[in-house]
Amino acid sequence: MTVFAAASIAVLVALFLAVVRALKGPTVFDRVLAGNSIGTGAIMLLALFGFLTERPEFLDIGILYALLNIIGTLAVLKFFRHGDLSHPGGEEPSEN
Amino acid sequence: MAEISQIFGAVLIVMGSFFFVVGAVGIFRMPDVFTRMHAAGISDTAGAGLLLVGMMFVAGLSLVTVKLAVILVVILYSSPIATHAVAQAALHAGLEPILANKKIMVGPGAHPVPEKDKAKKAPPQTKSRTPTRRPAGKTSGKARSTAARKGRTRS
């Protein structure tokens, strides 16, 4: 049990640093990257908390977070690249 | 046997926590977005991977292990995709890596400025911090590129 508590504290420290970067980040890409790392840290924290409290049902929520994390990151990046979530993608024409 | 797997899992969890914090410190301290991506890769692969494998060893063979494996596979697939997308979007937006124009001075890929180029440089031309933006035609192309390289290595 002690190792789970220690790992939870380490993940919390990592989450704090990532949140500071997400608040400070000079560009939007720093914030997106920090948001992705916050998502990974949240998954780890959910799994560790499930072991800490002997309730492995938290892992299902962790799977959900892992699946939503990548979708959210890609959606935000597509929005900031094309300005439109329904953009078909691909290379933009040079003269526009 | 059970105690051995518990201890091994605990060791893996401690190592994973270490790598996770290292990656977060890198995200906090690295100078630009591309180097921060490198640090995020550490915490997404080494940190999360070791933590999840350690929890698998602690949990033993059950449904919990399968769920942890699913989380591990999803993270190992999604993290490079997200990093690639961030890098592509950042390059598309015009950001440049701050280390892209620095010369590599040591190691197998080293290409320092040769001695004859150092001797050839003219002092007033190399004073400028941004030599490439000077109007063309003042100097010959070879001398200008030499001055540009010198200016970049100095900055």
Q: What is the ipTM of this complex?
A: 0.86
Would residue B54 count as lying in a domain?
A: yes
Nearest chain A residue (CA) to B18: A10
The number of distinct structural domains making up chain B is 2
Would residue B107 count as lying in a domain?
A: no
Convert the pLDDT of each residue in B35-61 to its tens digit. Answer: 999 999 999 999 999 999 999 999 888
Query: Cβ contact (<8 Å) for A62 and B67?
Result: yes
Q: Which residues of B touch A30 (CB under 8 A)?
A: 33, 36
- The letter for the amino acid at B127 is K
Contact call for residues B16 and B68 (beta carbons, < 8 A): no
Which of A15, A19, A28, A30 is most worth mutating to test chain B (most B CB atoms within 10 A of its CB)? Answer: A30
Would residue B49 count as lying in a domain?
A: yes
Query: Cβ contact (<8 Å) for A40 and B93?
Result: no
The whole-number pLDDT of residue B105 equals 55
Would residue B53 count as lying in a domain?
A: yes
Would residue B28 count as lying in a domain?
A: yes
Would residue B106 count as lying in a domain?
A: no
Residues B84 and B33 in one domain: yes
Which of B37, B45, B78 is most worth mutating to test chain A (most A CB atoms within 10 A of its CB)? Answer: B78
The whole-number pLDDT of residue A93 equals 54
Residues B78 and B6 in one domain: yes
Q: How confident is the model at residue B119 (pLDDT cuts 50, 70, 90)?
A: low
Mean pLDDT across the stretch A5-29?
92
- Residue by residue, DSSP assigns chain B as -HHHHHHHHHHHHHHHHHHHHHHHHHHHH-SSHHHHHHHHHHIIIIIHHHHHHHHHHHH-SSHHHHHHHHHHHHHHHHHHHHHHHHHHHHHHTT---TTTTSPP-SSTT--PPPHHHHHH--TTGGG-S-GGGSPTTSS-HHHHHHHHHHHHHH-
Q: Which of B92, B107, B135 is the last residue of a domain?
A: B92
Would residue B105 count as lying in a domain?
A: no
- The distance of B57 to chain A (nearest Cα, Å) reads 12
Would residue B34 count as lying in a domain?
A: yes
Higher pLDDT, B132 or A24: A24
The whole-number pLDDT of residue A92 equals 58
Residues B17 and B82 in one domain: yes
Of A34, A59, A70, the CB nearest to B78: A70
Mean pLDDT across the stretch A69-95?
77
Containing structural domain, residue B74: 2-92
Q: How confident is the model at residue B153 (pLDDT cuts 50, 70, 90)?
A: very low
Residues B71 and B33 in one domain: yes
Q: Residue B136 pLDDT more than 60?
A: no
Higher pLDDT, A14 or A82: A14
Rounded Cα gap, residues B23 and B44, in angstroms? 8
Higher pLDDT, B102 or A11: A11
